[in-house]
Amino acid sequence: MQQNHRADVVTIGESMVLFQPMGEKGIKYESLFTKSLAGAESNVAIGLTRLGKKVRWISKVGKDPFGDFILSTLAGEGVDVSHALHDEGAPTAVYFKETKAFGDPTVYYYRKNSAASKIEPSDVRPEWLEGAKHLHVTGITPALSENAAAAIQKTMELSREMGLTISLDPNLRRKLWSEEQARKVLLSLIPLCDVFLPGVEEAEFLIGKQSIEDYGKQFLEMGPKVVALKLGAEGSIGFIDGNSMKVAPYSVQHVIDTVGAGDAFAAGFVSVFLDNQSSMTTSSLEKALTRANIMGALATQFKGDWEGIPALEELEAIASGKMEVKR
């Protein structure tokens, strides 16, 4: 029987092995690739761990070297992977990322029928959540299969029953499911969360074109206690108890890789929320948005989904103006 240790946060979702061309030729012509870990929930797990939080990561991986690589990488970053499941009949997913001179990187997924897509509601167990304060999920794992969506919903419902707070980042992935199904499932999960973390484009996708203030108002009416809306180059805005707080972006000189920025934002925001769960005020909301903006901006400075996430000491030095980001 597994022994549970305290966890500030539990996160559940698919992680994959990421391959990127080492040179500038692009996937079609490059013969050498780097290998790394990728996955929205594991990005958040690593980010929160570096900010001093204890994190437990749940997923299902294949019984293969890629699954072993994911588990050992996360464990090496201090994330608890003791509750991860193995599927002997399904592979660990992989994907390729191609960075171009303009726009966001192009990604190619090879995750259909992956081990994580086989996660079932019957896999969900109270032991995952014992000793934990908070659950973080995204809209990516529900997109993998109907059973995965049901498993995420069951985990959220069980978390509420056990007294955990919950954050949800819609993290819309149009390549993974139809727009109709995505909208239906994501809207059904919003009432189950305490913290909702959409981007403007995701907000428009879910409820149509609205003013920024109306987005905040309507999402709060669905059930969350806090809404943090990512505004891209304009920073972010938070909504709580009928009040709003906008925070300017953290400026960097140029962007190297945008993938993972939203996950870093989520880790920054949730880390402050955890410290103020019982009394989230406009002041703590401002701190959460400020930290989230810095984390999101720093994530764009490295070619990788999580490698550039700062430790708490580095983040506090940057926030206080004692350290300047030069890249």
Q: Is 263 noted as a catalytic residue in this protein?
A: yes
Provide the residue count of the chain.
327
CA dihedral 252, 258, 259, 263 (to 10 degrees): 50
Q: How many CA atoms lie within 13 A of 162 on its CB side?
A: 20
Q: Which amino acid is at 124?
A: V
* Catalytic residue chosen out of the listed positions 123, 257, 263, 305: 263
Q: What is the 3-state secondary structure (H, E, C) of the chain?
A: CCCCCCEEEEEECCCEEEEEECCCCCCCCCCCEEEEEECHHHHHHHHHHHCCCCEEEECEEECCHHHHHHHHHHHHCCCECCCCEEECCCCCCEEEEECCCCCCCEEEEECCCCCHHHCCHHHCCHHHCCCEEEEEEECCHHHCCHHHHHHHHHHHHHHHHCCCEEEEECCCCCCCCCHHHHHHHHHHHHHHCCEECCEHHHHHHHHCCCCHHHHHHHHHHCCCCEEEEECHHHCEEEEECCEEEEECCCCCCCCCCCCCHHHHHHHHHHHHHHHCCCCCCHHHHHHHHHHHHHHHHHHCCCCCCCCCCCCHHHHHHHHCCCCCCCC
Contact by Cβ (8 Å): 138, 168: yes
Catalytic residues: 263
